[in-house]
Structure 1
Amino acid sequence: MLPDAYSRTEPESVETGACPFPLAVCAEMQFLDLPFIERVKHISREGFMVEIWDWTRQDLKRLAATGAVFSSMTGYVRGTLADRDGAAELLRTATQSIHAAKELGVPRLNLHGTGLDPDGLPVLPCAAGPDGAMWMTARDTLCRLAELGARHGVMFVLENLNAQIDHPGVPFGRAEDCLALVRSVDHPSLRLMLDLYHAQIGEGNLIAFIERALPYIGEIQVADVPGRCEPGTGEIHYPAIARALLRLDYRGVIGLESWAEGGESERALTRFATAFSLAA
């Protein structure tokens, strides 16, 4: 359960208290013994916002009826950033995602450097890294997505992914690459979904990166390394991250996108909230 000072909405300013950040929990990765709709209800009852992935697998009316506050969801169904045919499909399914997001009140729609298959592998792997033409196409696609988001009042967020363990061959996976693309577009409807689990594996030096990326961050996701379980189970000292975010005046959403160590989701949520409270 969250500390009393926590608010699961996203106000313009948050008073400093036991937990000064809006916190969200990924329903795809916690309470796996429950049906999906019950996971959403349970996370919401505990006072957290809810993250979902592929909205096409869900009953949107039932999700909306839970009364949960949703933080983000996947912003496309198919498509890729860096080739023309893939970009056209990405934009088409992003438009479909916007309609779903409006039904649920989801403010942020998540993107990746390429589409991912059910195992998290890129549909168009790029082991050698993207070339100049891919960079230009990706930037053009993101510009068009930013304009689409602005027209519909939603934000697209580009998530960094690690290629070493979870997503080998993914293009534009590095946090530095995602930041470079978002910065080059420089549009308020396109921001960075900074996943600190992936960034730790791929690059490390998390606080220094946060300091440079801060103006372009739309949301932060967390899990520990190794294992991708909740804060406190690995090498990342998340209370230090929390203090740095406070110092930098970040008050955006922090999402738990992790598995629960030992399948203990209640404990995972408690550890998550504790790591980002001022008392930690």
Structure 2
Amino acid sequence: MSRFTLAANAEMLFVDMPFEQRVRRLHQAGFDVEIWDWSNKDLPGLAATGARFGSMTGYLRGTLVDPDGATELLRTAEESLVAAEVIDCPRLNVHGTGLDPAGTPVVPHLVVTGADWLAAARTLERLAALGERYGRIFTLENLNTAVDHPGVPFGTAEETLALVTAVDSPHLRLNLDLYHAQIGEGNLVELCGRALAYIGEIQVADVPGRCEPGTGEIHYPRVAAALAEIGYEGVIAMEAFAATDPELALTRFRDAFTMSAA
């Protein structure tokens, strides 16, 4: 039995099915469900599936740094909070800047200054206050810039942890993505221990390929054991493609994060 709450991303699994059917399939398999852009979804229809939703994208546009971008991020974050109430989603995910459909920044931000850090922290403070008002949590996700998201500011786990620590609000936590961290930084077990107090959830996929645990270089059963040793009992979400069969991918994921009774 897993001591973690296991979730899976409906955007990346059973991709030949209509979206609502994907959600039902994950729910029937016993997983919480995560989604990305809520604005193109039938939220009442998703709510009617009976699935428990763990995370969704928490903004539609905007950035953390420039004033106009921050205003837009906060405006669409509030829209996202209203949407989250429809499916009762507790966590809303944000990034260092707005991303296009390919995952690259709408406006690349290659050089981050001290003033940028201060502006980002102020925007995140306001975001956390919005989360508190609605009783929900925003999570700031680390992203790798080497493979998937070139030009994203505040992309590393070190940077997201620094920002979340600076804001220090229970309504702003880390979405610690170990796939991205492995590409950008490595040393995952130590990273999890250092970030533990600020983790809102953990996302996983294997490297290379971004497929399920067991298909790449990360030994996720060891990561699972380390998380258990440090007392983590939160959400582990598979944000990964299926290497071959989605059912097999879910089985491999569950096996990697299921701890023995001993």
Write out aligned runs for 1:1-280 (5 A): 18-127=1-110, 129-262=111-244, 264-279=245-260
Question: What is the RMSD of the two structures over their aligned residues, measured on CA atoms?
Answer: 0.9
- Cα offsets for 1:166-206 (capped at 9, x unmatched): 00010000000000000000000000000000000000000
Distance 2:65 2:185 in 1: 23
Letter of the structure 2 residue corresponding to residue 206 of structure 1: L
Report SS of the residue matched to 2:130: helix
Aligned residues: 261
What CA distance in whole angstroms lies between the structure 2 residues aligned with 1:274 and 1:111? 29
Identity, in percent, stands at 62
Secondary structure of the structure 2 residue equivalent to 1:164: coil
Structure 1: distance between partners of 2:47 and 2:109: 38
Q: Which amino acid aligns with 1:143?
A: E
The SS at the match of 1:261 is coil
1:275 Cα offset (Å): 0.1
2:44 is paired with a residue whose SS is helix
In structure 2, what residue type is equivalent to 1:152? Y
Tell me the distance in 1 between the aligned counterparts of 2:163 and 2:24: 36
1:4-42: CA deviations, max 9, x gaps?
xxxxxxxxxxxxxx2111100000000011000000000
Give the TM-score taking structure 2 as reference length: 0.98
TM-score, structure 1 as length reference? 0.92
Q: Distance in 2 between matches of 1:141 and 1:256?
A: 28
Unaligned runs of 5+ in 2: none
Give the AA of the match of 1:250. Answer: Y
